[in-house]
């Protein structure tokens, strides 16, 4: 989830800070950014809220998905 990393960095947040804001464990953010795990919708809602974006903003575009 490259968009997650990009938005988090744009906000100047560490993985730990985002996890704390979203009420999730740091490994959730790490695993999502590394592409090892796609969080459940409830978790994506928390992360999106913590970043001030919509869930769709965190997801890859069709082009990004096709390139993977």
- Please report, in tens digits, the pLDDT of each residue of the chain (68 residues total): 899 999 999 999 999 999 999 999 999 999 999 989 889 999 999 999 999 999 999 988 766 555 55
**Fold classified for 2-59:** 434 Repressor (Amino-terminal Domain) (1.10.260)
Looking at residue 38, the DSSP 8-state letter turns out to be: P
* The token pair that represents 8 in the structure block: 């988090």
CA 46 from centroid of its chain's CA atoms: 10
Domain ranges of the chain: 2-59
Q: What integer pLDDT is reported at residue 4 of this predicted model?
A: 96
Q: What integer pLDDT is reported at residue 68 of this predicted model?
A: 56
Q: What integer pLDDT is reported at residue 60 of this predicted model?
A: 81
In 1-68, which residue ranges form alpha helices assigned H by DSSP? 2-10, 15-22, 26-33, 41-51, 55-58, 62-67
Give just the sign of the alpha carbon dihedral 7, 56, 64, 23: positive
Contact between 47 and 38 under an 8 Å Cβ cutoff? The reply is no
Q: What integer pLDDT is reported at residue 1 of this predicted model?
A: 86
């Amino acid at each position: 989830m490259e968009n997650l990393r990009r938005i988090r960095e744009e906000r100047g947040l560490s993985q730990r800070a985002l996890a704390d804001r979203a009420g999730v464990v740091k490994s959730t953010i790490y695993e999502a950014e590394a592409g090892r795990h796609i969080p459940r919708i409830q978790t994506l809602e928390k992360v999106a809220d913590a970043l001030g974006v919509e869930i769709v903003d965190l997801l890859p575009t069709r082009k990004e998905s096709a390139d993977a």
